[in-house]
Amino acid sequence: MSTTFYNTFSSLVNVGFLMLLIIYVYAVIGVHMFAPVKLNGPMNDRLNFQTVGNAFVALIRVATGEGWNDLMEALGRNFNEFN
DSSP string covering 4-73: HHHHHHHHHHHHHHHHHHHHHHHHHHHHHHHTTPPP-TT--SSSSSSSHHHHHHHHHHHHHTSSHHHHHH
Kindly report the pTM of this predicted structure.
0.77
- Within 8 A by CB and 6+ apart from 16, the residues are none
pLDDT tens-digit series, residues 16-74: 999 999 999 999 999 999 888 888 888 888 888 999 999 999 999 999 988 888 888 88
